[in-house]
Amino acid sequence: MNVYVFASPDEIGAAVAQRFIDDAQGRTPRVWGLATGASPLPVYCRLIDAYQQGKLSFRHIKTYNLDEYCALPRNDENSYYTFMHRHLFDAVDMEEKNAHFFNGTAPDWAAECRRYDSSIVQDGGIDLQLLGIGQNGHIGFNEPSDAFSGDSFKVELSASTRRANAPYFTNRPMPQYALTMGIRRILAAKQILLIATGTAKADAVQRMIEGRVTPQCPASVLQTHAQVSVFLDERAAAQLSCRTPTVR
Ligand code: GLP
């Protein structure tokens, strides 16, 4: 893992956005795995800036979001579909057909997960995967458990995840279930970029980077992937014993 510590979330946003901008200069089309939550927002702001300055176009980009809540209509204000349109897609030249999401209201969740996984494979797999991390070490919605997951699946959200995300749900109760890419699917990405900021993530970050690889801390599995870069602010890096290299 390459670990970089930055002075602020905004500087992380600039550095991570640059990785995406560079990736888009390569051969097309590119396939990006995207994440929701507060951590990626500075990245999306920078990508919008790059689009407005003519440095980036999404015309040849396909995206797959990591996860989606179950039982939320796509247009609910809390769906990840809405999140991505509000914070990125509506502001750039992203074609609707290239932005892929789980259908959290699909009647047969297993069939929906198979559809999603096969679509990723048909598109050639994910080139660049953006991740955040939950306070309990989850990635996507892969909660701590007894075994690492494989393909996409339906998950019951943990009490910790529900507590962390409940404040966003002002119009309805927080869903209990979600569809998420599984760990094997995430590890199949060619490159992974993970962002963690703030003191609340410090313990999970330490276990992800310096702890043993265990499904009790799902993010620790990233130690087994050859192309992972972790972008931290000082507070999220506070519990690491090894602090190099540091970017300021
Ligand atoms: C949710 C998402 C994760 C995200 C996590 C952290 O649980 N499913 O993909 O990484 O939140 O979010 P935040 O960046 O807001 O702390």
Q: Catalytic residue at 98?
A: no
Per-residue pLDDT tens over the stretch 185-227: 999 999 999 999 999 999 999 999 999 999 999 999 999 999 9
pLDDT at 8: 95
Per-residue pLDDT tens over the stretch 102-130: 999 999 999 999 999 999 999 999 999 99
Q: Is the dihedral of CA 72, 75, 78, 81 positive or negative?
A: positive
Q: How far apart are CA 159 and CA 230, in angstroms?
A: 26
* Separation of CA 116 and ligand 1 centre (Å): 20
Which member of 65, 67, 85, 117 is catalytic? 67
Q: Catalytic residue at 143?
A: yes
Checking if the pLDDT of 245 tops 80, the result is: no
Q: pTM for this structure?
A: 0.95
Which member of 85, 138, 165, 233 is catalytic? 138
* Separation of CA 18 and ligand 1 centre (Å): 21
> Which ligand 1 atom is at minimum distance from the Cα of 196?
14
Q: Cα dihedral angle (213, 219, 225, 228), rounded to 10 degrees?
A: -140
pLDDT at 244: 55
Contact 138, 165 (CB under 8 A): no
CA-wise closest residue to 89 among 34, 25, 126:
34
Phi, psi of 192 (to 5 degrees): -125, 135
| For residues 226-239, average pLDDT | 96
* Separation of CA 38 and ligand 1 centre (Å): 7
Which residues have a Cβ under 8 Å from the Cβ of 27 and sit 6 or more positions away?
none
Q: How far apart are CA 38 and CA 201, in angstroms?
A: 12
Which member of 68, 112, 143, 233 is catalytic? 143
Name the pairing type of β-strands 128-131 and 191-196: parallel
| For residues 78-85, average pLDDT | 97
Helical spans, DSSP H, in the chain: 9-25, 41-52, 80-87, 109-122, 159-165, 183-187, 202-210
Q: Which residues line ligand 1 (CB under 6 A)?
A: 35-39, 66-67, 132-134, 140-141, 161, 165
* Separation of CA 207 and ligand 1 centre (Å): 17
Pocket test residue of 81, 130, 133 for ligand 1, highest count of atoms within 8 A of CB:
133
